[in-house]
Each structure stands twice: as C-alpha cells, then as structure tokens.
Amino acid sequence: MTDHKKLLSIVTPAYNEAENVDEFYSRVLDSTKDLNLDVEIIYINDGSRDTTIDVIRNQRDNDDRITIIDLSRNFGKEIALTAGLDYSSGDAAIVIDTDLQDPPELIPKLVECWLSGYDVVNAKRIGRRGESLLKKVTSYIYYRLLFHISAISIPADTGDFRLLDRKALDALSKLREQHRYMKGMFFWVGFRQKEIEYEREARFKGKTKWNFFSLLNLAFDGLTSFSILPLRLASIIGFLAAFTGFLYGSVIVFKTLFFHEPVAGFTSLVVLITFFGGIQLLSIGIIGEYIGRIFNETKNRPLYIVKDIKHSVFLKKSGVIDPNSQKCV
Ligand code: UDP
Ligand code: MG
C-alpha cells in the first residue's frame, strides 16, 4: 500500500445477489486496475437470504481491500447505501449496484471527472435495457414531476450510480433522516456537480428487488422529503372549493328568495357531496403522509444495525463510526 495514492471506495449494497457478486468483483477489478488509485470495495450485505455473504467472505479471504458490512436484517437499499457510505474511508466513493446494471467500465470516466475538479459526478442513464415499458413510463413522469415540484433541482433519470468526493460524503453523513430519498439527497448537498451519460444495462442475473408498493413508497418519500407543495395544493384546492361553494350557495339563496324557485335536484346534491368528500379525504391522506413521516423521524432510531463488520486494510479511524455505538453523529 503506497501512501501517496488517493483512495477510491466502491460502495455496493447487495441483497440476494449471490449470482452476481463474483462477476461484479472481477469487472470492478478489471475496470480499476489501470487507475493510479488505491481501491477498496465496500459490500453491504442487506440481510440477504441467499449465499451472498459466503461469496463475499470468500472474496475477502483473498483480498483485504474489501470491507463487508453485514446488516442485522434487510433495511432497504437507501439505508444499506448509507451504511456503506458511513464506513467508506476513501477520498472519494462510487455508489454502484451489484447487479451490474451500472457498468463498472464507467468508473474510470467518473474518476477522470473527479480528478479534473468535480465533487459529485452523476451518471445519467440514457437507455434502460431490460426494464418494462410501464417502469420506463412511470419513472419518466415521476422524475419530471419531482423536478418541477421540489425545492432543489433533482435532474431526471439519474439513479444512484455516481462518484462523491470526500467533502460531499462528509456533508451527506450529516443527514440522518429515516425516510431517505438518496437520489435527492445527493443533490441537496450541493457542491460542484457534473453529469455524464451512460446506457443502463440489463441485470446480469436475478430479478429486481423492487415491487409496485416499494417503488410507490420510495416515490412518496421523494415527494414528501423535498417538497411541501402537496400540502399547499390541498389548501389551494380547499380554498377554491369553498369559494365556489359560497358562490353557488349565494345563487341558490338568491333564486329561492326572489324567484321562489324550488331547490335544484337530488342528483347535483349527491355529486357535490361525493366530490367534496373525496377532496377532503384526499387532503387528509396527504396530511397523513407527512404526519406518518414525522412520527417515524421523532422515534430517532438508529438507521441500521450492524451484525458483523470486516474492515478493509485502508480503514482510517477518523470520520468512521464506531460500529458498537450504532449511533451516528
Ligand atoms: N438492494 C439492497 N436492498 C434492498 C433492495 C435492493 O441492498 O432491499 C440492492 C440490490 O442488491 C442491488 C441494488 O440495491 O445491488 C439495486 O436493486 P435492484 O436491482 O433490485 O433495483 P433496480 O435496479 O431494479 O432499481
Ligand atoms: Mg438493478
């Protein structure tokens, strides 16, 4: 280990990726061998139920540049990622999926941009192979919606694949919220950001871990973490509805008093009641989404629990959390 080289941490959360980790490892080594950097690989085993942990332990036996963070259960990708970033000791870290959808061959390009002075280098996907049309369309709409309503500009179509300089990593480690929408948080910290484009590959082996509900949850986390516009929208719609109601009511009172017209039909009454009932429930639902998140945050639990950890040879004591305290400051 030479002392002058900069250290690059490759952070990869793995949940049931036993079939992919060996291929991942060899492609990462291949892609980084010509870089004039030290490289450590940080695996976060996110409560896998297959043999992922055995395969990566095997890699670790032959390569002490690997860190293994074994979480006590499945905490979800966003949290697993956070654990990995907490324990990375590099001058920069690259966040990359183990399933090889983010091509490791792009690493030298990310590094090149970093060395030329950028603090955060985002990989933007220009194609998504192996993903369903429905996922492509919904994510297209979602990212554009998020871009327009969030207070920070979260660019469309960037996943988690990116490089972060130590400055950005330190800033990010201060954000300890439970509902973590990492894609947004990477932009929230600011710094000099650069975007490069890549074609997203299909998964090497296995299936995506996300289902409709987990994606919906993540989507809500994204919207509620970065915007209170939905709440404001509820107030605005409420105001408009009340105003329209007042006008319509006045017309009816006027007609009844001066023209003695009978009250308008039953149908319009039912329509109005269900319409406004719907708006009210929707508004309460929106408020509920925010309250639920406040509830979770106030519990102030640690983000994750580490069952076992094996550090890479590069571990620097400073800035790394004590795994026994489980609490990050
Ligand atoms: N992942 C994880 N914990 C989870 C779900 C996923 O660590 O609860 C990891 C997974 O092993 C992979 C990455 O996060 O390396 C991306 O997951 P996936 O490929 O399922 O998502 P997609 O690429 O379809 O968005
Ligand atoms: Mg994937």
Angle CA 162–156–45, to nearest 5? 40
Candidates 77, 128, 208: which one to mutate for ligand 1, based on the most atoms within 8 Å of Cβ?
77
Whether 237 and 194 map to the same domain: the answer is: no
Range of the domain at 63: 6-132+159-211+302-326
Q: Whose CA is nearest to atom 21 of ligand 1?
A: 208
Long-range Cβ pairs for the range 213-219 (8 Å, 24+): 214/76, 215/138, 218/78, 218/181, 219/142
Is the pLDDT assigned to residue 27 strictly greater than 90? yes
Whether 203 and 84 map to the same domain: the answer is: yes
Percent of the chain with pLDDT over 90: 39
Q: Separation of 73 CA from ligand 2 center, angstroms?
A: 20
Is the pLDDT assigned to residue 13 strictly greater than 80? yes
Q: Separation of 14 CA from ligand 1 center, angstroms?
A: 7
Handedness of CA 162, 163, 165, 166 (dihedral sign): positive
pTM of the model: 0.78
Whether 188 and 252 map to the same domain: the answer is: no
- State pLDDT tens for residues 256-298: 788 877 666 777 777 778 878 888 888 888 898 899 989 988 9
Mean pLDDT of 12-41: 93
DSSP 200-269: EPPPSSS--S--HHHHHHHHHHHHHHH--HHHHHHHHHHHHHHHHHHHHHHHHHHHHHHH-PPPPPHHHH
Q: Give every CB contact of residue 187 below 8 A, 6+ residues apart in sequence.
A: 152, 153, 154, 155, 193
Q: 327 falls in which pLDDT band (50, 70, 90)?
A: very low
User: How long is the chain?
Assistant: 329
Strands of 129-192, DSSP E: 158-165
Whether 71 and 207 map to the same domain: the answer is: yes
Total of domains in the chain? 2
Separation between Cα atoms, residue 194 and residue 212, nearest integer Å: 31
Number of the ligand 1 atom closest to the C-alpha atom of 15: 11
In a domain, 150, yes or no: no
Angle CA 204–210–215, to nearest 5? 140
Whether 291 and 174 map to the same domain: the answer is: no
Is the pLDDT assigned to residue 96 strictly greater than 90? yes
Contact 252, 193 (CB under 8 A): no
Mean pLDDT of 119-142: 80
Q: 319 falls in which pLDDT band (50, 70, 90)?
A: very low
Q: Separation of 233 CA from ligand 1 center, angstroms?
A: 33
Mean pLDDT of 235-247: 83
Q: Which bound ligand lies closest to the C-alpha atom of 81?
A: 1
